[in-house]
Amino acid sequence: MISHQERYDNWAPDYNKDVAARNYDGPDYIVDYLMELADAGKIPVSPDLADFKVLDVACGSGLVGQALQKKGFRHIDGTDLSQGMIAQAHHSGAYQTLMAWIDLNKPLPFFLHGQYDLTVCCGVFALDFVEPKSLSYLAQATKPGGTIIMSTKTTYYDTYDFDGYYKSQVDAGELSLVDCRMNKPYLGSEADGHYWVFTVPAKQENTA
């Protein structure tokens, strides 16, 4: 059976054209949602600051990066499992640094830990690409006090226990849920996406 990596390597040259034909709204929706929360002061997001660093995990061909760039974000890095998709992301011109062969089913490489003010992950918690616990790998990349924004496809949410996992992380003090929106535009004409915004709590100094 063909792996997800091979599937996306093969699909990469036609990905943008094909998903546009299927009305893939995820990237624009997630960035608009992000900016709404930022404008409302609910999350600390400063696109105009050159040192405000964004990581787009499983960035694919760069659709999210391009949407972020239009909003003024200046430092966006991207990772993906597929080298073919990373090559497309490179052509998008939206990213500072791109890294292929980064599997979100595994802890992220150590050099990415705690580096990002904002971690974005769109279109990946879908099908069987990743387990809910991959949310903790998004948190690894995020600075204390930073933000994670991500989507889950409704069919993924209905199949996997994403709710149970994120709540366990909240209970453990590893994440806080800032906001979520259910049944919003994602792919095609159906409202088949949920969107989630978390912060990674700043660690308390132990002064005792």
Ligand X SMILES: C[S@@+](CC[C@H](N)C(=O)[O-])C[C@H]1O[C@@H](n2cnc3c(N)ncnc32)[C@H](O)[C@@H]1O
Q: Which residues bind ligand X (CB under 6 A)?
A: 4, 8, 26-27, 58-60, 63-64, 80-82, 85, 103-105, 122-124, 129-130
Q: What sign results for the dihedral spanned by CA atoms 54, 59, 62, 68? A: negative
The nearest distance, CB 59 to ligand X, in angstroms, is: 5
CB of 7 to ligand X, least distance (A): 8
E-only strand ranges, 93-191: 98-99, 116-125, 142-153, 176-184
CB of 85 to ligand X, least distance (A): 4
Residue with tokens 């879908």: 126
Q: Which is nearer to ligand X, 85 or 139 (CB)?
A: 85
User: Least distance (Å) from ligand X to the CB of residue 175?
Assistant: 20
Task: Decide whether 53 or 153 has the Cβ nearer to ligand X.
Answer: 153
**Residue among 113 and 170 whose Cβ is closer to ligand X:** 113
79 touches 89 (CB < 8 A) = no
In whole angstroms, how close is the CB of 107 to ligand X at the nearest point?
12
User: What six digits make up the tokens of 205?
Assistant: 């100094």
In the bound state with ligand X, the residue whose beta carbon lies nearer, of 58 and 118, is 58
| Eight-state DSSP code of residue 174 | S
Cα 195 to Cα 185: distance, rounded to the nearest angstrom: 10
The rounded distance, in Å, linking the Cα atoms of 201 and 196 is: 16
Of 4 and 181, which CB lies nearer to ligand X in the complex structure? 4
